Amino acid sequence: MKEVQILDKRFREYIPEQVIQGRINELASHINRDFTGKEVVFVGILNGAFMFASDLFKKIDLKAQITFIKLASYTGTSSSGAIKELIGWNEDLRNKSVIIIEDIVDTGVTLEHTVNNLIIRNVKEIRIAALFLKPAAFTKNIHIDYIGFEIPNDFVVGYGLDYKGYGRNLPSVYSVISK
Ligand code: IMP
């Protein structure tokens, strides 16, 4: 098993690159099937979702646009609960079918913030694609339409996800080794 050291923590490979890519292909096929003939705007949540958004969007075979918002709620390995909007909304999304692209849903605070922002923008419909969901941490009553992997409540890095800003470049996902 591959291990990596990031700052003071050690991580072990948890989901290899090929498994992630295979699952993204499946999610893209579901979206392509569900939205056949429709126009869609994808909204990626930065920073973490940049890699998932890029790989997913390449597999989308629809009339589609993509835009990004930048939110921050995490400090180190735990969610602060408060959302900071670092890059906001500048697209007119009225009457659009929107698919939110989130890297990982933990407590769901970030997702709820994003959904509420879309509701007040009078979009036509909202769907959610999340590569990872931690069901044990999720506190919100929000339906997630496309889930890549349900994972335990452990801290993970790689494939866009970071520990204190590092580890996003790893093509596989690694889980922290608790000592
Ligand atoms: P939530 O608002 O608690 O659902 O947290 C969502 C955000 O926290 C994600 O978009 C990530 O940026 C970050 N996050 C949650 N869990 C992890 C993790 O295990 N590793 C790295 N970042 C995480």
What mean pLDDT is reported for the chain? 94
Global pTM value: 0.94
pLDDT of residue 54: 98
The number of C-alpha atoms within 13 Å of 37 and in the hemisphere containing its C-beta is 0
Q: What single-letter amino acid sits at 17?
A: E
Q: Between residues 84 and 101, which one has the greater pLDDT? A: 101
**How far apart are alpha carbons 90 and 152 in whole angstroms?**
35
Q: Give the active site residue among 106, 145, 154, 162.
A: 106
106 is catalytic: yes
User: How many CB atoms are located within 10 Å of the residue 89 CB?
Assistant: 15
Six-digit token string for 7: 């700052």
Is any atom of ligand 1 closer than 6 Å to the C-beta of 106?
yes
Listed range (11-25, 76-90, 124-138, 155-169) with the worst mean pLDDT? 76-90
Closest to 159 measured CA to CA, from 9, 5, 17, 34: 17
Indicate the top mutation candidate among 104, 107, 176 to test ligand 1's pocket, ranked by most ligand atoms within 8 A of CB: 104
pLDDT in tens, 46-61: 999 999 999 999 999 9
Predicted confidence band of residue 72 (pLDDT cuts 50, 70, 90)? confident
Q: Whose CA is nearest to atom 22 of ligand 1?
A: 161
Phi, psi of 14 (to 5 degrees): -120, -50
Ligand 1 centroid vs 78 CA: distance in angstroms?
8
**Pocket mutation for ligand 1, best pick of 50, 139, 161, 164 (most atoms within 8 Å of C-beta):** 161
Query: Of 79, 95, 80, 108, which is closest to residue 38 (Cα–Cα)?
Result: 95
Q: In what order do the strands lie in the sheet with 173-176?
A: 3-6, 9-15, 173-176, 156-157
**pLDDT of 64 above 90:** yes
* Residue 132 banded pLDDT, cuts 50, 70, 90: very high
Index of the ligand 1 atom closest to the CA of residue 102: 10
User: How far does the centroid of ligand 1 lie from the alpha carbon of residue 160, in Å?
Assistant: 11
